[in-house]
Amino acid sequence: MGEKNVAPANVHTEVVLKAKELRKSLNEKHIVRGLSFDLRQGDSVGLLGLNGAGKTTTLRLLSTLLEPDSGELLFNGIDVRQCLQLYRDSIGYLADDARLYNECTVEEHLTFLGKLRGLRSGALRRELERVYELCDLRAVHSILCGNLSRGFRQRVGLASALLHRPILLFLDEPAGALDPQQREHFRRLLSTLRREAVTVVHSSHILQDVSVCCERLLVIDEGECVADLRSTDDLQELEKQFFAAVTSREDRSQNFTVRVRRGTPPRGMAA
Amino acid sequence: MMESLGKSSSFRRTVLRNVALIWHDVRRLWLTPFGAFLSVGILLLSGFFFFQYLSAYNLRLAEFLASPISQPAKRPSLHSDIIVPFVEALSFLLLFVVPIVHQRLIADERKDRNDDLVVLAGISNRQYVCSKFVSSYLFLAPLACFPLLFPVSLFWFGNPEFLPFLTSIIGLLSLLALFCSLSSFVFFLFPVRGISLVMSTFVLLFLYFFHSLKNILEPSSFWWVSEFSPVLQARPLFSGVLSLSSLYFFIGFSLLFVFGGVLSFDRERSL
Amino acid sequence: MKTDPKKGLIVGALFLLFGFVASLFSGEIFEFYSSANILLGVFCVVIAFALLWRSSASREAVLFSKRARNAILQGVLFVAVLSCLGLGKIALERVLPEWDLTEQSVFELSPVLQETIHKLASPVEVAVVVSSATPTSQLEFLDRVEKLESRLLSLIRIDPVLDPLALKEFEIPSELRGVVVNSASRRRRFLRSLNEEELLNALRFASGASTQSLLFLTGHGEPSLSDDSADGLKKMESVLRSEGVQIVPAQLWETDISAEQKGVFVLTGEKELEPIEIERIFRFLNGGGSGVFFLEPARGVSIRKFLSKLGISAPQAVAIQPVETSSGRLTAALESVHRIADAPLATGFDKDAAVSFFLSNPLLVDEQFDSPWRFRPLIVSPPQAWGETDLNFLSASDGSVPQVMQGSEDIRGPFPLALIGENKNSGSRIVVFGDQSWLSNARVERLYNRELLRVILRWTLGKESFVPVMARSYRPSTLELSDASLQVLSLFALGFPQLLLLASLFFYWRRRARNLGFGATMT
């Protein structure tokens, strides 16, 4: 628990990534509406929200897998469209269900991704060793990805995201499939990354998951950032703040029926 | 950071990335028995066709030898009586195989969202579509060439014409390129797995029998049908006429459909 | 209910598509079906756009219209590229070449033969002798001729064993292969072999004009036309006859050249030409007659005096050509081989066609000479050849040929060995050769010598329409598949896929088993 307060080694105060009024509709449903926030180098941010709040879509927008309908995403002050290749080389993304080539072994999968990232053989071997160590994958490196348990798949996914030493890491519900021991290992891993000044955005609908790993919590509801909380050890207090933020939004939006009339979905259905 | 990771220069890196992607795709298809099942199916069916044409040739040879000198029958030719119909039958078989391969290569990958991994690793939309076309072609070309061992065996037992046999192979590979590009275009146009498989097979079948429209419709008004029928364009190549106009048709239209695939994929993933 | 313009557009597009497809078919029912679909389609599209217009203020509509616009733009771009490709294909169809690589193409009859058959003015019967020994290529050739379906040409195949009477009827000698008979004029020409050139010439002969007469100058010790020894000209005579040329031997110091003669054929004999002869030949040439002249450096006398009056100087020299021996060494040779495919009269020949000369005399044209004759080289020596002026080696006992150009008088190559000339006033044509030994029985059948003779004869007599058709080789495809071989092949057809499948399964299971043992603990 105390790990979240460990300060990163080279914390800079510059804004690495700035999201300005991001909006996204899928199938004519507004999933993200006017999301804005800043990420500084070494930040460890938790995206907290109920199911369907738009966390996954937000992370997909941040990782350039989706194009926003409007709004801007600035990487070091430059629109990511202008520096797409550089941006993609600088980020790592772990989806909620880790995407793996099931017919390949862990090593083949990671080697392939390393080659796609342009790593040459010597460097690739070094990075493989590093991520095996970080994600504790040495014992399973020759196993077919299709044969792995969900926890291990998640770890291989994380290794894929870390292979090219990204400076921004987007993790979508990374601890969902992990057992307590693996969660602890995961927490240690995140603190290591923070020491290396990697900015981590970590989404979850479980308050406890994000509160122990992150120092800042962005509460997302219906695609909007309704609160920017400072993480504390007091879980009950955090929970209170979270529900207060969500409930106040419920009130602000002048009840549920109005949204239905406008064709927006009830919470929990989208994303 | 790129240099420290031992990454290559821009152009070389792009080439190596694409080569890695193509190699990975082709290898993936052979890692499971999928590739073997397909090639065995093609080999068995084409073997069946080959022996049918061989029997027909023997019958025609017997007719020729028995015909009176003053009214001689046409002497059967190994090329026009065995190799040409065999290659035509093989091209028809490939028509059904191409969508199956694309189902595996494109639709399954998109369903598992593994394309996210590739796109995030710095492969552009254009490179992704082109790589899928090339890898499907590189997988299918040997598959199409395996059954050519049957006509090759004729060179052991007889003396078929060599140059026309080469043009037949060129025709088959050209037709296959068109099939691959058109099928990949349909797969990128319709992201839903089942629909893309059915549509792709349907479109290829339609294209294969496109020239029969001329028989149904008014022939004088639909003279252009033969200009755009892949089968009619491949026929000179199959029969031993190296026609630059046919090669223009196949290369041009293959590139067109790859371009169409890029447009479709771009529309979905544009950033 | 929330209305969705997108769905309206999709349904409308479907109606329009089916309407368009139905319009391709003819018939009343299709017309009705097509019209109904197009009407419905237009209706749906109009309604959809109306809805879109009405709700254009809403965000969905803006977003949708943006996407739709992009999609339409991309569609238009795609169709534009497709159209360009299609138009390019149609435009390039006739420009881009194609090469028929099949053996069958060998039997596509040459255009000149097809044209001759299609333009026959009178009925012609072609009787050919075929038997089981007749090569397939010749049978195929006859098939092609028959497939031209000319009303005026009837092809009769005669089997000498089954129908010996037919042979008698057409009076075909046993050593010949057939006959072409003009049914109207009864003009006939025998076929020595069954090939395109033979048939073409026979058809042209049988259906063409009367024979032309050629004066063969004698009285100077010229080689004899009836001599069948190696130095004789019997074979050449038969070539001339086969071209429909009537040869009239004559001496010109007694009588002038008659008006019936189309040309003169002058060889180098053992005596010089008399001035009166030279004068008569000149008069003949200036009056529109043609001639073929041959110089022979090995003989003591020559027709140099005559040639000098035409502006051609023929120095006393012999062309020597360095050739590479089989061991790769260069050696000089008196026999020279020349490619003639690019020569003015021989453009119809194969690209490798060549003629062989022996002891040729270089021929030099004096460009300053004031004369109505204009000459062009027909055959030119290679650049490394030279004209050896010291001819003592010809009479030397050892007969060794000089290996390099030594004397300053020698003529440096390349130089013409044969010339063709035309008189710009009278239109007369002459051909001059620096060698006449290539006409001898021993040499006239070497390489393309005979074809060259035919060509120059035709040209000088004004029969350029003659096109030599080279014999093309044919290799019929055969298959010798015994029962045992067939079984091996069948086994391969079954065994190879099985082997592939087993190997693949083995590889897959091995790979999976290696992982399963471990994976089980993981899952």
Q: What is the DSSP string of C400-437?
A: PPP-S---TTSEESP-EEEEEEEETTT--EEEEES--G
Q: Is the residue at B4 inside a domain?
A: no
Residues of chain C found within 8 Å of residue B153, distances taken between Cβ atoms:
489, 492
Q: Is the residue at B111 inside a domain?
A: yes
Mean pLDDT of chain A: 79
Q: Is the residue at B3 inside a domain?
A: no
Residues of chain C found within 8 Å of residue B199, distances taken between Cβ atoms:
none
CATH of domain C103-191: 3.40.30.10
Count of pairs with CB atoms under 8 A, one residue in A, one in B: 84
The answer to whether the beta carbons of residues A21 and A70 sit under 8 Å apart is yes
Q: Is the residue at B246 inside a domain?
A: yes
Q: Which residue of C has its CA nearest to B252?
A: C85
Banded model confidence at residue B56, pLDDT cuts 50, 70, 90? very high
Mean pLDDT of chain B: 88
Banded model confidence at residue C62, pLDDT cuts 50, 70, 90? low
The answer to whether the beta carbons of residues C393 and C400 sit under 8 Å apart is yes
Residues of chain B found within 8 Å of residue A80, distances taken between Cβ atoms:
271
Count of pairs with CB atoms under 8 A, one residue in A, one in C: 36
pLDDT one-digit tens code per residue, B120-170: 888 888 999 999 999 999 999 999 999 999 999 998 888 888 899 999 999
The answer to whether the beta carbons of residues C360 and C435 sit under 8 Å apart is yes
Topology of the domain comprising C212-460: Rossmann fold (3.40.50)
Q: Which residue of A has its CA nearest to C67?
A: A69
Q: Per-residue pLDDT for C97 more than 50?
A: yes
Could you tell me which of B229, B232, B210, B213 has the C-alpha nearest to residue B221?
B213
Of the two residues C115 and C395, the one the predictor is more confident about is C115
Q: What is the reported pLDDT for A30?
A: 83
Residues of chain A found within 8 Å of residue C513, distances taken between Cβ atoms:
none
Q: Counting Cβ atoms within 10 Å, is residue C57 exposed (0-12), middle (13-18) or buried (19+)?
A: exposed
Cβ of B16 within 8 Å of Cβ of A118? The answer is yes
Residues of chain C found within 8 Å of residue A143, distances taken between Cβ atoms:
515, 518-519, 522
pLDDT one-digit tens code per residue, C307-328: 888 888 888 888 888 776 666 6
Of the two residues A120 and C126, the one the predictor is more confident about is C126
Q: What is the reported pLDDT for B173?
A: 97
Between CA B215 and CA B230 the distance in angstroms is 16
Cβ of C480 within 8 Å of Cβ of B158? The answer is yes
Q: What is the reported pLDDT for A271?
A: 30
Which residue out of A72, A75, A116, A153 would a mutagenesis test of the B interface target, given it has the greatest number of B Cβ atoms within 10 Å?
A116
Candidate from B102-111, B141-150, C78-87 with smallest mean pLDDT = C78-87
Q: Which percentage of chain A shows pLDDT scores above 70?
A: 80
Q: What is the reported pLDDT for A8?
A: 44
Q: Which residue of B has its CA nearest to A127?
A: B5
In this complex, is the C-beta atom of A182 within 8 Å of any C-beta atom belonging to chain C?
no
Q: Is the residue at B224 inside a domain?
A: yes
Q: Per-residue pLDDT for C143 more than 70?
A: yes
- Edge-to-edge strand list for the sheet holding C386-388: C330-333, C318-324, C386-388, C411-412
Q: What is the reported pLDDT for C2?
A: 55
CA A37 to chain centre: 14
Cβ of C96 within 8 Å of Cβ of B57? The answer is no
In this complex, is the C-beta atom of B33 within 8 Å of any C-beta atom belonging to chain A?
no
Residue B14, domain extent: 10-269
Which residue out of B117, B118, B124, B131 would a mutagenesis test of the A interface target, given it has the greatest number of A Cβ atoms within 10 Å?
B117
Cβ of C523 within 8 Å of Cβ of A105? The answer is no
pLDDT one-digit tens code per residue, A217-243: 888 888 888 877 776 666 667 677 666
Cβ of B6 within 8 Å of Cβ of A84? The answer is no
Q: Which residue of A has its CA nearest to B115?
A: A99
Q: Per-residue pLDDT for C523 more than 60?
A: no
Residues of chain C found within 8 Å of residue B252, distances taken between Cβ atoms:
85, 88-89
Q: Which percentage of chain B shows pLDDT scores above 90?
A: 57
Residues of chain A found within 8 Å of residue C515, distances taken between Cβ atoms:
105, 142-144, 147
Cβ of A148 within 8 Å of Cβ of C523? The answer is yes
How many Å from the N-terminal Cα to the C-terminal Cα in chain C? 49
Which two structure tokens, joined as six digits, stand for A113? Answer: 């991704």
Q: Which residue of A has its CA nearest to B28?
A: A103
Neighbours of chain A (3+ CB pairs under 8 A): B, C
Candidate from B201-205, B230-234, C114-118 with smallest mean pLDDT = C114-118
Banded model confidence at residue A163, pLDDT cuts 50, 70, 90? very high
Q: What is the reported pLDDT for A267?
A: 40
Q: Is the residue at B77 inside a domain?
A: yes
Highest mean pLDDT, choosing among B259-263, C146-150, C191-195:
B259-263
Q: What is the reported pLDDT for A261?
A: 37
Cβ of C63 within 8 Å of Cβ of A69? The answer is yes
Cβ of C139 within 8 Å of Cβ of B150? The answer is no
The answer to whether the beta carbons of residues A57 and A31 sit under 8 Å apart is yes
Residues of chain B found within 8 Å of residue A120, distances taken between Cβ atoms:
6-8
Q: Which residue of B has its CA nearest to C505?
A: B33
* DSSP per-residue string spanning C47-95: HHHHHHHHTTTSHHHHHHHHHHHHHHHHHHHHHHHHHHHHHHHHHHTTT
State how far the alpha carbon of B231 is from the alpha carbons of A96, B235, B250, C79, C86, in Å: 47, 6, 11, 22, 16
Q: What is the reported pLDDT for B27?
A: 93
Which two structure tokens, joined as six digits, stand for C185? Answer: 């004029």
Highest mean pLDDT, choosing among B172-176, B267-271, C378-382:
B172-176
Q: Which residue of C has its CA nearest to B58?
A: C479
Between CA A205 and CA A173 the distance in angstroms is 8
Q: What is the reported pLDDT for C208?
A: 66
Candidate from A101-110, B107-116, C69-78, C153-162 with smallest mean pLDDT = C69-78
Q: What is the reported pLDDT for C56?
A: 54
Cβ of C522 within 8 Å of Cβ of A144? The answer is no
Q: What is the reported pLDDT for A178?
A: 75
The answer to whether the beta carbons of residues C269 and C220 sit under 8 Å apart is yes
Q: Which residue of A has its CA nearest to C518?
A: A143
Give the one of C60, C515, C523 whose C-beta lies nearest to A28's C-beta.
C60
Banded model confidence at residue A246, pLDDT cuts 50, 70, 90? low
Query: In angstroms, what separates the C-alpha of A144 from chain C's closest C-alpha?
Result: 6
Q: Per-residue pLDDT for C225 more than 70?
A: yes
Interface of chain A against chain B, CB under 8 Å? Answer: 63-65, 67, 80-81, 84-85, 88-89, 91, 93, 95, 99-104, 112-113, 115-120, 122-124, 127, 160, 164-165, 167
Q: Which percentage of chain C shows pLDDT scores above 70?
A: 85
Q: What is the reported pLDDT for B69?
A: 59
Cβ of A144 within 8 Å of Cβ of C64? The answer is no
Which two structure tokens, joined as six digits, stand for C513? Answer: 């088993």
Average pLDDT over residues C224-252: 84
Cβ of B69 within 8 Å of Cβ of C86? The answer is no
Q: Per-residue pLDDT for B211 more than 70?
A: yes
Between CA C349 and CA C340 the distance in angstroms is 8
Residues of chain C found within 8 Å of residue B142, distances taken between Cβ atoms:
none
Q: Per-residue pLDDT for C513 more than 80?
A: no
Q: Per-residue pLDDT for C389 more than 50?
A: yes
- What is the set of domains in chain A, with CATH numbers? 12-261 (3.40.50.300)
The answer to whether the beta carbons of residues B252 and B178 sit under 8 Å apart is no
Banded model confidence at residue C397, pLDDT cuts 50, 70, 90? low
Give the one of A28, A69, A140 whose C-beta lies nearest to C522's C-beta.
A140
Of the two residues C137 and A77, the one the predictor is more confident about is A77
Positions of E strands within B85-164 = none
Give the one of A143, A149, A263 whose C-beta lies nearest to C515's C-beta.
A143
Q: What is the reported pLDDT for A263?
A: 38
Contacts of C193 (CB under 8 A, 6+ apart): C177
Could you tell me which of C389, C402, C376 has the C-alpha nearest to residue C321?
C402
Q: Per-residue pLDDT for B208 more than 80?
A: yes
The answer to whether the beta carbons of residues B18 and B122 sit under 8 Å apart is no
Which two structure tokens, joined as six digits, stand for C455? Answer: 């060509």
Q: Which amino acid is it at B97?
A: V
Highest mean pLDDT, choosing among B195-204, C288-297, C419-428:
B195-204
Residues of chain A found within 8 Å of residue B7, distances taken between Cβ atoms:
117-120, 123
Q: What is the pTM of this model?
A: 0.66
Q: What is the reported pLDDT for A230?
A: 75
CA dihedral of C56, C61, C62, C64, whole degrees rounded to 10: -150
Banded model confidence at residue B60, pLDDT cuts 50, 70, 90? confident
State whether ipTM is beyond 0.85: no
Give the one of A84, A103, A123 whose C-beta lies nearest to B6's C-beta.
A123
The answer to whether the beta carbons of residues C474 and C137 sit under 8 Å apart is yes
Cβ of A143 within 8 Å of Cβ of C519? The answer is yes
CA A132 to chain centre: 21
Cβ of C63 within 8 Å of Cβ of A149? The answer is no
Q: Per-residue pLDDT for B237 more than 70?
A: yes
Number of structural domains (chain B) is 1
Cβ of B116 within 8 Å of Cβ of A101? The answer is no
Q: Which residue of A has its CA nearest to B127?
A: A116
State how far the alpha carbon of C99 is from the alpha carbons of A177, B233, C96, in Å: 65, 15, 10
CA dihedral of C255, C260, C266, C272, whole degrees rounded to 10: 10
Which residue out of A64, A76, A85, A115 would a mutagenesis test of the B interface target, given it has the greatest number of B Cβ atoms within 10 Å?
A115
Q: What is the reported pLDDT for B175?
A: 96
Domains of chain C, residue spans: 5-92, 103-191, 212-460
Cβ of C518 within 8 Å of Cβ of A140? The answer is yes
Give the one of B8, B24, B32 whose C-beta lies nearest to A120's C-beta.
B8
CA C146 to chain centre: 22
Cβ of B120 within 8 Å of Cβ of A93? The answer is yes
pLDDT one-digit tens code per residue, C270-283: 888 888 888 888 88
pLDDT one-digit tens code per residue, C474-508: 666 778 778 888 888 888 888 888 898 999 898 88
Residues of chain B found within 8 Å of residue C481, distances taken between Cβ atoms:
54, 157-158
- Edge-to-edge strand list for the sheet holding C429-433: C245-250, C212-217, C261-266, C290-294, C429-433, C416-423, C373-380
Candidate from A43-47, A180-184, C157-161 with smallest mean pLDDT = A180-184
pLDDT one-digit tens code per residue, B78-91: 898 999 999 999 99
Give the one of A28, A147, A149 whose C-beta lies nearest to C515's C-beta.
A147
